[in-house]
């Protein structure tokens, strides 16, 4: 299956933003992309992109710092096939400190080989009351999510029109961390439609 780099994902998101911006004066897009190994970028509209800084917290959790405030809560990433009971394999925890913590579950068939695999995975009884589940797309080894939060959902920023998150959730080695599945990219085609609908509300 074809794959594109993290930079290509960001470029495609911002290209869609440019189209939407031309048709909707005042349109503002925050585009965030990151993976399991500390590689992330942030860009607003056509401004130059910036590298997201990250730290490894006391418990070993991979934590990205975002340059804007957002609604706290958990994004639960379901990596089960469609029609199968949800199996939460990754978790994004947006905090009131403008950070997002990236937890990735590991096991016998999925060894802890990425930075996000090192911290203990949160138990279900510790999930935030403000939780939203997103289905993972793509083939094993090159998969992730594209997430556009609505008002009140985790990661939402009320100061801009739309905030998008492109997350690569299966990146076992640094070289693979820059790849994302074609399936994920196909979802990006809906960004302009989403942006128009949000602007019209």
* Structural domain boundaries, residue 32: 3-200
CA-CA-CA-CA torsion sign (175, 140, 111, 86): positive
Backbone torsions φ then ψ of 48, nearest 5 degrees: -60, 145
Tell me the C-alpha distance between 189 and 169, whole Å.
20
Q: Would you place residue 150 in the very low, low, confident or very high pLDDT band (cuts 50, 70, 90)?
A: very high
pLDDT in tens, 88-139: 989 999 999 999 999 998 865 666 889 999 999 999 999 999 999 999 887 6
Count how many domains the chain has.
1
CA-nearest of 176, 36, 172 to 116 is 36
Strands 131-135 and 73-78, sheet pairing: parallel
Residue with the two structure tokens 């693979």: 176
Mean pLDDT of 53-70: 95
């Amino acid at each position: 299956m074809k794959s594109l780099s993290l930079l290509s994902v960001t470029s495609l998101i911002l290209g869609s933003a440019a189209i939407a911006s031309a048709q909707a004066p005042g349109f503002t897009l925050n585009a965030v992309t990151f993976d399991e190994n500390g590689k992330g970028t942030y860009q607003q509209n056509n401004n130059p992109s910036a590298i997201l800084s990250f730290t490894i917290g006391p418990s070993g959790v991979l934590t990205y710092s975002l340059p804007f405030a957002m609604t706290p809560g958990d994004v639960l990433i379901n990596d089960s096939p469609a029609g199968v009971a949800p199996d939460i394999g990754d978790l994004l925890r947006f905090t009131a400190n403008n950070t997002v913590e990236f937890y990735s579950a590991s096991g016998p068939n999925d060894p802890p080989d990425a930075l996000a695999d090192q911290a203990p995975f949160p138990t279900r009884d510790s999930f935030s009351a403000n939780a939203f589940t997103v289905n993972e797309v793509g083939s094993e080894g090159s998969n992730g999510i594209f997430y556009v939060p609505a008002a009140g959902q985790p990661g939402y920023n009320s100061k801009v029109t739309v905030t998008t998150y492109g997350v690569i959730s299966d990146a076992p080695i640094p070289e693979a961390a820059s790849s994302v599945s074609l399936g994920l990219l196909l979802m990006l085609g809906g960004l302009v439609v989403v942006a128009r609908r949000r602007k019209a509300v």
